[in-house]
Amino acid sequence: PPPAVGPAPGGAPKPAIDPPPAVGPAAAFERRPWLERIGLAAIALVMGAMFGLVAFAAGAGGEWILAAMSAVGAFMTLAVGLSTLVRG
C-alpha cells in the first residue's frame, strides 16, 4: 500500500517518506579507502590529460574559445582529482 499522508494522531501532518540522513558538520564523515582514492585520482589524471590535449590541439588550430574551455576543464578535473586524493 502507498505510504499514509495526512494528519497523524497528534494533529501534525505525517511525511510520506523518511527524512534524508543528516548532512553538514553533524553528519558522520567517513573517508574513502586509499585504493579507491588513488583510483579516482588516476581517472581524473587521465581525463585531465585528455582535456589538456584537446586544449593544445584547439589552440594550435586557432579555436581559442574551445582551447580556453578545454584548459579550464583540464584544470578543474585535475583539481577535483587532487582534492579527492588529499581529502578523501
Residue 65 belongs to some domain of the structure: yes
Residue 36 belongs to some domain of the structure: yes
Q: Residue 6 in 3-state DSSP?
A: strand
**What pLDDT is stored for residue 32 in this prediction?**
86
Residue 45 belongs to some domain of the structure: yes
Phi-psi region at 15: left, alpha or beta (left = phi > 0; alpha = psi -120 to 50): beta
pLDDT tens digit sequence for 23-37: 666 566 688 899 999
What whole-number distance in Å separates Cα of residue 39 and Cα of residue 44? 9
pLDDT tens digit sequence for 44-83: 999 999 999 999 999 999 999 999 999 999 999 999 999 9
Residue 1 belongs to some domain of the structure: no
Residue 2 belongs to some domain of the structure: no
Residue 18 belongs to some domain of the structure: yes
Domains in the chain: how many in total? 1
Residue 14 belongs to some domain of the structure: yes
Range of the domain at 44: 7-87
